[in-house]
Amino acid sequence: MRRHVVGYCFPWDVDEGFAVRAVELGVDEVAIATAHRSTRAATPW
């Protein structure tokens, strides 16, 4: 059974050859980050 492979990247990683490289690596789906070093902080309120 083949597993579903998800690749993660940042927007600046995507260039003209990105899709070809992803397919060659066996990636089925790509998740592009929309924030870099975002923080999720808990507050008392």
Range of the domain at 28: 1-36
Residue 38: its pLDDT value, please?
67
**Confidence (pLDDT) at 24:** 96
Q: State how far the Cα of 40 lies from the Cα of 29, in Å rounded to an integer.
A: 26
The tally of domains found in the chain comes to: 1
Asked whether residue 43 is domain-assigned, the answer is: no
The pLDDT score that the predictor gives to residue 44 is: 67
d(CA 6, CA 31): 7
Report if residue 44 sits inside a domain. Answer: no
- Encode pLDDT of 1-45 as tens digits: 889 999 999 999 999 999 999 999 999 999 998 876 766 667 666
Tally Cβ neighbours within 10 Å of residue 30.
15
15/34 Cα distance (integer angstroms): 16
pLDDT of 42? 72
Measure the CA dihedral 11/32/10/34, to 10°. 80
- Is 30 part of a structural domain of the chain? yes
The reply to whether 20 falls in a domain is yes
